[in-house]
Amino acid sequence: MKIIPALIAAVLIAAPAAAAPPQSALGDAAEARALLMDSVGFASVQERGQTPALARFYRDWLVARGFAASDFAIDEMAGTAMLHFTWKAARPKAAPMALTGHLDVVEAKAADWVRDPFKASAADGYIFGRGVMDNKFDVAMMLATLAQLKANGFQPRRDIHLFLSGDEETDGVTSAAQAKQAKALGIEFMLNSDGGGGALDAAGKAFAYKLQASEKSYADFTLTITDPGGHSSTPGPSNAIARLGLVAARIAGHRWPAQVDEITRASLAAAGAARNDALGAAMRRFAEDPTDPAAIATLRANPGTIGQIGTTCVPTMITGGHAPNALPQRATLTVNCRIFPGTAIAAVQAELARIAEDPGVSFGTGIDWPVTPPSPLRSDVVDAVAAAVKTRGTTVQPTPGMDAGATDSVFWRALGIPSYGVSGLFIRAEDAFAHGLNERVPEAAIAPALKHWEVLLRRLAG
């Protein structure tokens, strides 16, 4: 579930000029491009059953480039699959590190797309296809970088574990299982390809990079009102649909308390410093004083920043009634919450119950993901990411940030493994269509992304 980071997208401004993107020192962008295009051809949507085939394809691709088949494990579960590969250090000098990404993609209805979503196509400088950005781009770049490092004789000084989950976009069962494996293996830290990343301005110049060190949790609640119902010609004082409609309106209108932590304070201060308008001023004021009511109001009013200053909950689905001529016996509202780090899910449910102002509401829970604290900013990771970003010929410094969505990292952080979103993709906000129609990545993003992953691996495992 990625990105482009909402905060970065909210601060689109003109920025310092950057040099032309570098070619990968290792060369072969064409091979990485072919890998990316081939991987889009697997419709690795949960219900379509092609995720295991994609896992085998990636394994075979790496084995064909010299890695041992015995260092791969593919586990099929819950209709999907997860892949684990270990590049063992001959003589490890440090605890193991991990790279992560996900195999699965969000469903795409071919009829709504201009091109077949599950056959990659190239046009106008872009590659189109479902998952070509989220997350197959960075997965292909990581795999291609591993292969190219091996071809160049690279010897890791610590074990490098690659974990690709199979249901990050839906249930997170494989994500949770892999986090447990990683904990048992003593993984010291994890780099998640499905978080963070760079922003380009309208002219294609880099102006920001988010090092994702924190993310919100995710929870779905169902609120149900039941009623005896009856003949529609004899209405009484209670109507389940009308009552639930009022509940939905109260939840949609609720102002959740403003919250801040070290990560969001730093990212808002940096984003605010980069712009000269009312939104930028509000970011700076909030970073200084997170109780400033005017700053809070401005940030709440902007969809790009509301998620950065606290929990949000919105009604997303509603069902009710059973016949056009009967009083409804049941109405159900789904409420989706994005929960600020450190806030308990039970506290959010209690607040929803209070806001609902209807004691007849019964609560059910759907998917809920762990609530986790931000990862501590390790200087080795921060320095490596800064070096990777610098290869773009930009003066942009990575800024630690929080994603308002959630990725595999929440399961890892829940087990105490520091996790960082460090995508190698720089993209313009107007080119980012993850989860949406006509998902695309610029062809020009490939070579610098290979360089990005090469620098990260050489600095952290070389």
Task: Kindly state the smallest distance separating residue 246's Cβ from Zn ion, in Å.
Answer: 36
Closest CA relative to residue 419, chosen from 409, 429, 405, 408: 409
**Nearest distance from residue 263's CB to Zn ion, in Å?**
20
| Residue 242 CB-density burial (10 A; 0-12 exposed, 13-18 middle, 19+ buried) | middle
CB of 163 to Zn ion, least distance (A): 14
Closer residue to Zn ion in complex, CB, 101/272: 101
Unique residue bearing structure tokens 């609530």: 371
Q: Which is nearer to Zn ion, 1 or 306 (CB)?
A: 1
Which residues make up the interface to Zn ion (CB under 5 A)?
Answer: 1-2, 134-135, 194
Give the whole-angstrom CA distance, residue 100 versus residue 212: 14
Cα(134)–Cα(421) distance, rounded to whole angstroms? 13
Q: How far apart are CA 391 and CA 448, in angstroms?
A: 8
Q: How far apart are CA 196 and CA 420, in angstroms?
A: 8
CB atoms within 10 A of CB 309: 24
Q: What is the DSSP letter of 48?
A: G
**Least distance from Zn ion to the Cβ atom of residue 135, Å:** 4
The CB-of-431 to Zn ion minimum distance in angstroms stands at 16
CB of 104 to Zn ion, least distance (A): 8
- Cβ proximity to Zn ion, 215 vs 351, nearer residue: 215
* Nearest 10 degrees: Cα torsion 342, 11, 198, 169: 50
| Residue number, 194 or 403, with CB nearest to Zn ion | 194
Q: How far is the CB of 408 from Zn ion (least distance, A)?
A: 8
CB 450 within 8 A of CB 391: no
Q: Which residues of 194-222 are buried (b: 16+ CB within 10 A; e: fewer)?
A: bbbbbbbbeeebbbbbbbbbbbbbbbbbb
For Zn ion, the closer CB: 1 or 142: 1
CB of 169 to Zn ion, least distance (A): 6
Classify residue 100 by burial, with Cβ atoms within 10 Å: 0-12, 13-18, 19+: buried
Considering beta carbons, is residue 12 or 164 the nearer one to Zn ion? 164
Q: Which residue is listed with tokens 């399961």?
A: 411
- Complex with Zn ion: residue 85 or 137, whichever CB lies closer: 137
**3 vs 263 by CB, closer to Zn ion:** 3
